[in-house]
Structure 1
Amino acid sequence: MRGLLPQLVLRVLAAGLATVLLGAAWVLWATADAAREDARITAERVAQAIAARPDFIGLAFGGVAPVPAFLDWQGFPRWTLIAPGICVEFGADGRPDHRRCGSYVAADTAPPSWFGKLAEAIGLVPDPITRPVRTRYASNARVTAYADPKVIIARAWDRTGDLMRLALGMAVGGALLTGLLVGRLLFPFRTILSGIERLQSGDFAARQPRQKVTEFDRLGLALNDTARALQEARDTRTDLTRRLFTVQESERRALARELHDEFGQCLTATRALATAVAQSGETTARDGARIAEISGQMMQSLRDELSRLRPPDLDELGLDAALQRLVAGWRGRLPSVRFLLELSGDPDTVSDDLALSLYRIIQECLTNAIRHGAPKTVRVRLDVGAEIALTVADDGGARDDAPVGNGYGLLGIRERVNALGGSFDLTPADGGMCAGVRLPN
């Protein structure tokens, strides 16, 4: 239970229960203090009343009473001074001869045994109060007033029980009411939290509604401003990335043209001259043959680099034929691996920029499948429709294909796909890996 609202309710309930315990402790203390005060007042008043009746002192201690003997202990007229729940003992030191208790109406329900043990443990029943009685008949008479434990415990239970039931009900009710009120007050927070989660997932289009609570309204407006700024930043980044790839491909195209026009022509002329030299004599022929061989290697390297910079088949034949030749090239280089190409729809209807991006993505996926795995089969499937779906799957074992950088590897694929407004994922599948790309057409 980690939510803010449950924790708040539990803390309010805990505070209420703590208040109940403090209230119960105060009631117990007040009850003990009242019993102690009743015993003191009773002891003093009874001592004063007995001291004012010398006839009673004489009777109590066997002396000669100056008044008739019918004024005995039980008929003493001042016992109305004994407080309820207080008992009084009267007599010589250590030999109380007479005892009388104040009236008290017992409760219908006796306190539980655990409460009695608790009362004894905390000293709820006060100590007895003793007052001397000094007259001409006796000098060692004493009045001792003490609280009846059963009466005091029953009185404390009655007061504490009522208070605890009332306070406990108020604590539980207050916690529930607090939960309802705070839950309603924090309801806008859930909307704001949902907006933050959408921002984390990349959804910058959602906006927060206006709130009635000022603080939440300001927070929602700030969140809207943040979403707007992030959306603008993402759009700017996407546009810059798209422009970057366009400039990159333009530079590659220009570089390929320059290499072909200048470097290629020079190599062709060099090879022709070397052939002519080779036909002119023995030693010269050997040198010319060597020049021709080197020129041929340079021309082949040049063609490979030109193909890497700008696929010639893509410009001359279209995406369909370019992909067919790309896969055929891999079949020729790795005859032990089965390369499959499945095309659906008309790939040649794809725009030039998008076709070039698809070619580069497929080229890099094939390279990663061979470089980072040991596949027996690599399957390429391209579906062209209202949306373009591309999958490149292999059975070379599950792995993490590391990005290479500089426009190649997974990082380059993700950047291209993001710039085109699509999605890319790489997941283990069928004993290997499956790269999936979706792009708007």
Structure 2
Amino acid sequence: MRRLLPQLVLRVLAAGLLTVLVAAGWVLWDTANAARQDVQTTARRVADAIAARPDFIGLAFGGVAPTPVFRDWQQFPAWTLIAPGICVEFGARDQPTHRRCGPYLAAEGTPPAWFVWLAERTGLVPDPAAVPVRMRYISDARVTAMADPGVIVTRAWARTGDLMRVAVGMAIGGAILTGLLVVRLLAPFRAILRGIEHLQRGDFAARLPNLRVTEFDRLSTALNQTAATLQEAQAMRTELTRRLFTVQESERRALARELHDEFGQCLTATRALAAAIAQSGESTAEDGTRIAEITGQMMESLRAELSRLRPPDLDDLGLRPALERLVADWRSRVPAVRFGLELTGEIEAVPDELALSLYRIAQECLTNAIRHGAPTTVSLKIYVADAITLTATDDGSARHDGPIGDGYGLLGIRERVDALGGSFSLVPAGDGMRATARLPR
């Protein structure tokens, strides 16, 4: 994608060069037209001068007897009859006897070969102009005026060269000045662009300053209002999400308590009755044994669901034992995978609400690593300092097939992290993936 400033400078320069070419073409045309007019005017002036001054001057032109001839027209000052760069011949059609050229101060420099070639192809040098002169003693007399090709081409090159040098310099200078003016004019646009990039990154707290250009200032004001609206909406969303998770965890705690108190007691009583029936020795003993087995399976399932709803170790022992139990459960469920846990810093000083969120994030990261890859090693590291950093790394192959983080589990992590004012990323790392969550304390 091309940038605006180079395109604008190049186009201004191209327009200037095009103007130079048009001006050079006009200079060539004007030079050719002036030469054509000089040829015609010179031919008429010389013819009029010759026809207007007949006389007898004795032995002229090598004659042996007095011969009536015209007074020699060459005695006239050349500049009064002949234009610069024009030569005149006088005499019979096929035998001109007199030739004279107008004064011309040669310009410095020789036209290049390509310019001479262009002059020849464009008809820069005009054709000769012949004007008949009525003379009593010379039949078929005529004045022929012709332009000197070298003089005309040199004159055109001098005029065109000066014009092109000045015009090209002006074109380049105009392009540079245009670029400088555009840079200054677009300076507010860069500030607006940075503001838009802040909005794209989700930084709604950044504000644009007041701009001097009215149109840009209106755009800056509109972006600031948009950022303020988005910031307010984000704050409301964060607060609602935080409340949602608080309510969710409260409901989970209440549900876990009810299941444990009511459903768990009922299952325990049923299992005890089944055991009593099995020990009675009656015909229903086998049925009692089967009831006890089913009740045991139900109690194991209930215990697992209670752990998912509300980790008991977290309430009873704290975050460190709860995380150690979480990793130990994964080791027992997936023995082929080597799980690692590293806890650094003041883990015990993490507040209860933040500890629960940290536990849920770790739980989902481990689940995601096992569910979406085939790792042999999964490592969970938590570092607690001024901020909390959780890193889960696996070697279960990098996932590049689609957008990372579109699953419901990862969506829940992002929402939970956003509600806490943190950040979350999931990127390929080596042969697997690395999930990183940073939370403020």
The corresponding residue for 2:220 is 220
Shift of residue 159 of structure 1? 1.9
Give the Cα separation in 1 of the matches to 2:248 and 2:383.
Answer: 27
Give the Cα separation in 2 of the matches to 1:193 and 1:44.
Answer: 72
Going from structure 1 to structure 2, the CA distance change for 1:76 and 1:235 (only over 3 Å counts) comes to: closer
The corresponding residue for 2:353 is 353
Q: Sequence identity of aligned pairs in percent?
A: 73
Give 3-state SS (helix, strand or coil) of 1:103's partner: coil
Which moved further from structure 2: 92-101 or 247-256?
A: 92-101
Give the Cα separation in 2 of the matches to 1:77 and 1:387.
Answer: 103
The corresponding residue for 2:298 is 298
The one-letter code sitting in structure 1 at the alignment partner of 2:329 is G
The corresponding residue for 1:116 is 116
For structure 2, the 5+ residue unaligned runs are none
Give the Cα separation in 2 of the matches to 1:65 and 1:214.
Answer: 96
The one-letter code sitting in structure 2 at the alignment partner of 1:338 is R
The one-letter code sitting in structure 2 at the alignment partner of 1:112 is P
Shift of residue 413 of structure 1? 1.7
The one-letter code sitting in structure 1 at the alignment partner of 2:370 is I
The one-letter code sitting in structure 2 at the alignment partner of 1:111 is P
The answer to whether the Cα contact below 8 Å between 1:54 and 1:137 also exists between their aligned partners in 2 is no
Give 1:330-409 correspondences, 5 Å limit. 330-399=330-399, 403=405, 405-406=407-408, 408=409
Give the Cα separation in 2 of the matches to 1:404 and 1:25.
Answer: 66
The one-letter code sitting in structure 2 at the alignment partner of 1:398 is A
Shift of residue 198 of structure 1? 2.2
Give the Cα separation in 1 of the matches to 2:70 and 2:126.
Answer: 35
The answer to whether the Cα contact below 8 Å between 1:390 and 1:438 also exists between their aligned partners in 2 is yes
The corresponding residue for 1:154 is 154
The corresponding residue for 1:425 is 425
Going from structure 1 to structure 2, the CA distance change for 1:105 and 1:336 (only over 3 Å counts) comes to: closer
Give the Cα separation in 1 of the matches to 2:388 and 2:241.
Answer: 20
Shift of residue 134 of structure 1? 3.4
Going from structure 1 to structure 2, the CA distance change for 1:60 and 1:132 (only over 3 Å counts) comes to: farther
Per-residue Cα deviation, 1:371-414 (whole angstroms, up to 9, x for no partner): 333434333222223211222223444345965744x2x22222
Going from structure 1 to structure 2, the CA distance change for 1:79 and 1:26 (only over 3 Å counts) comes to: closer
The one-letter code sitting in structure 1 at the alignment partner of 2:112 is P
The corresponding residue for 2:327 is 327
The answer to whether the Cα contact below 8 Å between 1:40 and 1:145 also exists between their aligned partners in 2 is yes
Indicate yes or no: 2:140 matched with 1:140: yes
Give 3-state SS (helix, strand or coil) of 1:435's partner: strand
Indicate yes or no: 2:90 matched with 1:90: yes
Per-residue Cα deviation, 1:23-77 (whole angstroms, up to 9, x for no partner): 2221111111111011111222222333335569xx9999999964583565579
The answer to whether the Cα contact below 8 Å between 2:36 and 2:126 also exists between their aligned partners in 1 is yes
Give 3-state SS (helix, strand or coil) of 1:282's partner: coil
Which moved further from structure 2: 319-328 or 333-342?
A: 333-342
Give the Cα separation in 1 of the matches to 2:66 and 2:121.
Answer: 49
- What's the TM-score, normalizing by structure 2? 0.88
The one-letter code sitting in structure 1 at the alignment partner of 2:435 is A
The one-letter code sitting in structure 2 at the alignment partner of 1:71 is R
The corresponding residue for 2:278 is 278
Give the Cα separation in 1 of the matches to 2:92 and 2:154.
Answer: 31
Give the Cα separation in 1 of the matches to 2:342 and 2:104.
Answer: 102
The one-letter code sitting in structure 1 at the alignment partner of 2:259 is L
The one-letter code sitting in structure 2 at the alignment partner of 1:268 is T
The corresponding residue for 1:316 is 316
The count of aligned residue pairs is 438
For structure 1, the 5+ residue unaligned runs are none
Give the Cα separation in 1 of the matches to 2:312 and 2:77.
Answer: 131
Give the Cα separation in 2 of the matches to 1:106 and 1:77.
Answer: 19
- What's the TM-score, normalizing by structure 1? 0.88
Give the Cα separation in 2 of the matches to 1:297 and 1:60.
Answer: 148
